[in-house]
Copies of this chain bind each other. A is one copy, B any other.
Amino acid sequence: MNIGTVLASRRDGKSHSREEIEFLVRGCVDGSIPDYQLSAWLMAAYLNPLNAQETAWLTLAMAGSGVRLDLSPLPKPWVDKHSTGGVGDKTSLVLLPLLASCGLTVVKMSGRGLGITGGTLDKLASIPGFRTDLSPSELVAQAARIGIALTGQSPELAPADKVLYALRDATGTVSSIPLIVSSVLSKKLAGGAETVVLDVKCGSGAFMKNLDEARALASALRDAAEICGLKTRIAVTDMSRPLGSAVGNALEVREAWPVLAGVQGMCLPTMRFRGLCLDLAAITLAASGIVEDEAEGRAMAEIALSSGAAIRKGREWLCAQGAAEDAIVHPERLPISPVQVTQACPHAGYLAGIDAGAVGEAVVELGGGRKKKTDTVDPSVGVCLLRDVGESVAEGDPLFTVHAASDDAAREAACRVLKGVSWSSEPVEPAPALIERL
């Protein structure tokens, strides 16, 4: 076996054998295949995409390229959750402690945000003291103790994915569906999960801009997971507008916490976010076999929120990972930006759209996201939407608030967001958060 024949085969659109894919992945990790050959293979794989079987082999080989978490000391069922990333997507902050409070064991590795899609790790890092660097053994030990643990991506798990991802990022080959699938699933397999809920975001604020693309990714994830023997539930969810009210790291934690605490009477965007959390919880609880069906799962999740079980688990989790007591009890004391500007509605009418891409870009420009990997993020900045698509608004109604480091930055961000807002004179039927399921 040599890299020349593997490259030629991909270039010519032939199928790889399992041995060829394992050879490639070994070469990534031991350095025997240089970057320039791997990147040529990645471009060939972008233009001549891997089939489902090749994708599954790549997934398994990458999952086996480093340490695999051994969750066997932990009570079953073991669940994990992954979102393809979106604007205002703080689902993990609610869903993970909620599931743990229902008796599931939740072990998750999360990534940092890049571009307009935020990262769970950045959101949690806005909580003073919160550790995002648990080692694999700390992770398992904490999950054994309290049923939930989350950490950043360990270099020991799926190291081949780390090598290939860095090259994909540098070579314009990130957006290949089979490569996305193998990257996502290999980390889930290496993380030891049994049941994984995959949230494929769809719209201007997501990687997949339309339903066709999102469906293609969702079905590729399903097919490869099936071959790999991983139990998945896949939801395609709306990212044409931001999820919930808050976009920005500390702001999103501040929005998630009351939801977890079962607080009533929130704004419509937050209610929509809460609804998606309950949908995903119901799907996960049913898939893990802890309840008979999703209706029962949803009821169980509702009770966990309203009974205080979920927020207690959330506090226990933050505390276990080192968060400051004050921040846990008073999330309103998380970092606050020096400037807050509320934008009034310039038109009357029905809100027809709040473009997630525009809001995401505004928050990146405010310093709440990264343009490149080495950027640091400002946890305090962001945008809070006060009204939702479908609502009837009057001229002058408060529409959104910008949290910024300066007046100029706030003004600029408000302009960007406003450009993404559209109105209609006719009533508008807002898109549901959960579009479809696989």
Contact = CB atoms under 8 A, between A and B. Distances in A.
B36 A171 contact: yes
A40 B39 CA distance: 5
Nearest to A8: B172
Interface residues on A, range: 20 to 34
Interface stretch (A41-49, A104-112, A265-273): A41-49
Contacts of A309: none
A47 B47 CA distance: 7
Interface string A162-183: 0000010011110000000000
A38 interface: yes
A221 interface: no
Contacts of A325: none
A170 B8 CA distance: 11
Of A8, A46, A47, most buried by chain B (CB within 10 Å of CB) is A47
Contact of A40 (B4, B34, B40, B48): B40
Nearest to A167: B36
Interface of A: 4, 7-8, 11, 34-44, 46-48, 167, 170-173
Contact of A173 (B40, B47, B167, B173): B40
A394 to B, nearest CB: 44
Of A11, A41, A48, most buried by chain B (CB within 10 Å of CB) is A11
Contact of A43 (B4, B35, B40, B167): B40
A43 B42 CA distance: 9
B4 A36 contact: no
22 contacts: A4-B172, A7-B171, A7-B172, A8-B172, A11-B46, A11-B47, A11-B172, A11-B173, A35-B35, A36-B36, A36-B38, A39-B39, A39-B43, A40-B42, A40-B43, A40-B167, A40-B170, A40-B171, A40-B172, A43-B43, A43-B44, A47-B48
A2 to B, nearest CB: 11
A72 to B, nearest CB: 39
A121 to B, nearest CB: 24
Contacts of A34: 35, 170
Contacts of A43: 11, 39-41, 43-44, 47
Contacts of A38: 36
Contacts of A42: 40
Number of copies: 2
A408 to B, nearest CB: 27
Of A38, A171, A173, most buried by chain B (CB within 10 Å of CB) is A171
Given A7-B172, A35-B35, A40-B173, 16 more contacts: A7-B171, A11-B47, A11-B173, A36-B38, A36-B170, A36-B171, A37-B39, A37-B171, A39-B40, A39-B43, A40-B42, A40-B43, A41-B43, A43-B43, A43-B47, A44-B47
Contacts of A11: 43, 46-47, 172-173
A164 to B, nearest CB: 11
A38 B167 CA distance: 12
Contacts of A48: 47
Enumerate the 10 nearest inter-chain pairs by beta-carbon distance, A residue then B residue, closest first.
A40-B171, A43-B43, A7-B172, A36-B39, A35-B36, A40-B43, A39-B40, A47-B47, A8-B172, A36-B36
A40 B179 CA distance: 15
A163 to B, nearest CB: 11
A4 B40 CA distance: 15
A47 B173 CA distance: 14
A170 B40 CA distance: 9
A273 to B, nearest CB: 33
A203 B255 CA distance: 71
Contacts of A170: 34, 36-37, 40
A48 to B, nearest CB: 7
A46 B46 CA distance: 13
A332 to B, nearest CB: 40
